[in-house]
Chains A and B, each alone.
Chain A
């Protein structure tokens, strides 16, 4: 049994209470939601926490998926399982369902939350790639009120975010536009493993022409990355296998993977290309009402 160092535990009753606790306890306190990243790191003594603030009682306040005409709002305590099981979310943004099917395992999905996933800022984290793909914005609340940041602003490097010591991520907002669809592709070494590379794609068509497209890649850089050059290459063009391959080549060129036990740099670049191609193919097919 791996044993963490001593810590104190507080159970928050509301977002405001969480902020009060954070404010009082200072930088040595950490919020725990699902705990599937934080607790193992504490047990391995890679992270030392003096206070653990458990926000699982905030699920009533922060566990929701609200589909509005021009956006979807997802509460930070919404669990993977709820994202996987939501028919509304799947209809509007099938990328979530694609991703959630391959994130970890049922035990993790039952507890892990979207807010925890994003705040962990693991470079290989799939939901971060999804949110990057979808141009999500994140609502961060502190004593001074709320602020909204983009995904690019949220991430400041591996395991580092813009969420301050006395702040909490409360909501993820995803813009909705008609005429589009999305998809997610992942290669891991085993079910439940972190991605070797994963890739999200969102694409919008007007007739036979791509009006906009975005990709989000995980595990090929310090944070999940959207690659604007891919979007530029796709806009105004008719979808085709050649175009998808060209987009993949750009993704491969612009990403910055490293060699590790999960794979070589060359392989990861290759996957960035291949998965971009596959996700584009699938997302475009979905606009046509087809499932590949």
Chain B
């Protein structure tokens, strides 16, 4: 129905938004705000099956496919994680499996959140990206296999 902007375009948009902040507190306040605004996931989806492993906080992620595009929804009990996952959803949701698989997600580094991808963080940003790509891969296999 709508001309979806590319993953890269959304990434650039986020990088632009973050360039307005000149200190870390403003950046995090923005992420926290995104986290608060993220639509909560219905309780029926907050089950172990949808939980992402390896997170200090609880993170649930679900994916739906409609007309060849994948739509993500997620939730967490930690607000910064909610903010981070809300950005991932904004970037990746509504794209084809192949586009999601090809996404480089450089914006995470560019907005200074790369440390959240580190293994030791165990806040699951890395696990979330992996899980989203995993869903995309599964749909891709289903589609082409």
Chains A and B form a bound pair: no
